[in-house]
């Protein structure tokens, strides 16, 4: 199945399929001390799962398709039922015979919304290039995430620095635009896993921490984001090979840095503290809104605006996607709250 990029439609997303067990705690305890769990939820987690579910909730009319692995267990059946309820095509969501569905225990501090993650890699660690068949899709965009959290794809291959690069090259050969996201890992692996993927990407989503890890450029001074450093870091990532846009998000804003010299700032919404129930999934919600617009041929400024509105909406619930509403409802938050001041590089 092949088609030109302009004739294609839909978004296919692959990578981490996770069930998040979100626990709202009254405080983060010191070692050996106790914290109280005030509420708890089980929900979607992982870049492809979050992005596809968000797109469905936003009301995207184009096809949504999944690629990945889950276990033959209750969590895997939860994922399949949830995807079916959100019209996500599952023909390339496989089942591992040996590993459980991946899960994450997310400890969310009430009041601040700060999160700490305890992750079981599970079936996601087995995901390999053989699980991706781009001849079976007419999607326009392929989104892969998270680099650094996919053992099989992060490993070297016989033909590329990582198996993920093989997957990205196959997607490009099939005629898809390519998007990716990475995980906020504190390590020295960004140079060997993320940098080789850059020339294969049309779009890359990063937060300020991940940008610093890739480039070595400090993005904050004394805990305060330095917008000029964000620009320098994004430009360095473009020089690393990203073909169209690098999107760098942090709490106050998002920068879209284009390969043709564009530098576009979109402030985030001025959300009051009592609106925030949790920040889990806010980055994926931003990516969902931006990809919605890019898929449908919107301008990048319009896509960024929907992205920050979707990210703001996601803050209204402790889980990754339950706060995301229709496109109109998310965009209405901009009128309700307004925007933060634009950063000054």
pLDDT in tens, 251-306: 999 999 999 999 999 999 999 999 988 888 999 999 999 999 999 999 999 999 99
**Distance between CA atoms of residues 11 and 231, nearest Å:** 28
**For the whole model, what pTM was predicted?**
0.94
Pick the closest to residue 154 from 199, 189, 121 (CA basis). 189
Burial class (CB in 10 A: 0-12, 13-18, 19+), 133: middle
Average pLDDT over residues 149-173: 98
pLDDT digits (tens, 9 = 90+) for 35-87: 999 999 899 999 999 999 999 999 999 999 999 999 999 999 999 999 999 99
Other CB atoms within 10 A of residue 252 CB? 16
Domain boundaries, the chain: 12-337
Q: Does domain 12-337 have CATH number 3.90.226.10?
A: no
Using an 8 Å Cβ cutoff, are 116 and 107 in contact? Answer: yes
How many other C-beta atoms are found inside a 10 Å radius of the C-beta of residue 42? 13
Side by side, the strands of the sheet bearing 141-147 are 88-96, 64-71, 11-15, 141-147, 177-182, 203-207, 245-250, 253-258, 263-267
């Amino acid at each position: 199945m092949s088609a030109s990029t302009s004739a294609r439609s839909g978004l296919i997303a692959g990578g981490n399929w996770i069930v998040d067990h979100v626990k709202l705690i009254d405080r983060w305890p010191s070692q050996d001390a106790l914290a109280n769990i005030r509420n708890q939820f089980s929900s979607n987690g992982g870049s492809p799962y979050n992005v596809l579910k968000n797109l469905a909730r936003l009301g995207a009319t184009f096809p949504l398709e999944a690629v990945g692995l889950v276990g033959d267990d209750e969590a895997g059946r939860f994922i399949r039922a949830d995807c079916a309820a959100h019209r996500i095509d599952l023909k390339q969501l496989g089942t591992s015979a040996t590993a459980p569905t991946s899960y994450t225990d997310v400890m969310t501090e009430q009041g601040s919304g700060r999160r700490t993650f305890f992750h079981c890699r599970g079936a996601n660690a087995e995901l390999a290039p053989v699980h991706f068949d781009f001849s079976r899709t007419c999607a326009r965009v392929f989104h892969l995430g998270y680099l650094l959290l996919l053992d099989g794809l992060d490993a070297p291959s016989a033909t590329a620095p990582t198996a993920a690069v093989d997957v990205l090259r196959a997607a490009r050969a099939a005629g898809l635009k390519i998007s990716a996201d990475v995980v906020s890992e504190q390590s020295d692996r960004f140079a060997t896993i993320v940098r080789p993927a850059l020339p294969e990407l049309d779009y890359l989503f990063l937060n300020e921490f991940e940008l610093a890890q890739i480039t070595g450029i400090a993005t904050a001074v004394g805990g305060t984001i330095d917008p000029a450093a964000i620009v320098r870091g994004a430009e360095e990532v473009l020089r690393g090979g990203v073909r169209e846009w690098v999107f760098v998000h942090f709490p106050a804003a998002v920068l879209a840095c284009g390969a043709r010299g564009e530098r576009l700032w979109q402030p985030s919404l001025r959300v009051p503290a009592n609106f925030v129930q949790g920040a889990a999934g806010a980055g994926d919600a931003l990516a969902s809104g931006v990809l919605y617009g890019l898929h449908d041929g919107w301008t990048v400024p319009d896509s960024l605006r929907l992205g920050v509105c979707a990210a703001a909406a996601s803050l209204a619930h402790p889980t990754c996607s339950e706060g995301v509403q229709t496109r109109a409802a998310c965009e209405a938050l901009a009128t309700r709250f307004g925007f933060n001041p634009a950063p000054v590089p």
